[in-house]
Amino acid sequence: MRETRTVSVVIEGQVQGVSYRAWTRGEARARGLTGTVRNRDDGSVEALFSGAADAVAEMLTLCRSGPPGARVTGVAVRELEDPPGVSGFEILSG
């Protein structure tokens, strides 16, 4: 059995208005991850990724650059004990 890893991530920089959430959903789904992504009021994007440890690590690397048009200045990662209570990967409003 593969090790499961769950992380909460806050991505800062020019990450709203550049399709960052849609890009994140597509990349996460392509890697078989579950979780969510949403815009935050402070201009950052927050995501929750859960799945195979190697797929989560790859997603974190991708988040450091983001989609074309994004300018990421920081990525804060917090390890979580429990996987999210969702199936699939979804964009949340907010």
Q: Which residues are catalytic?
A: 21, 39
Closest CA to 47 of 28, 73, 30: 28
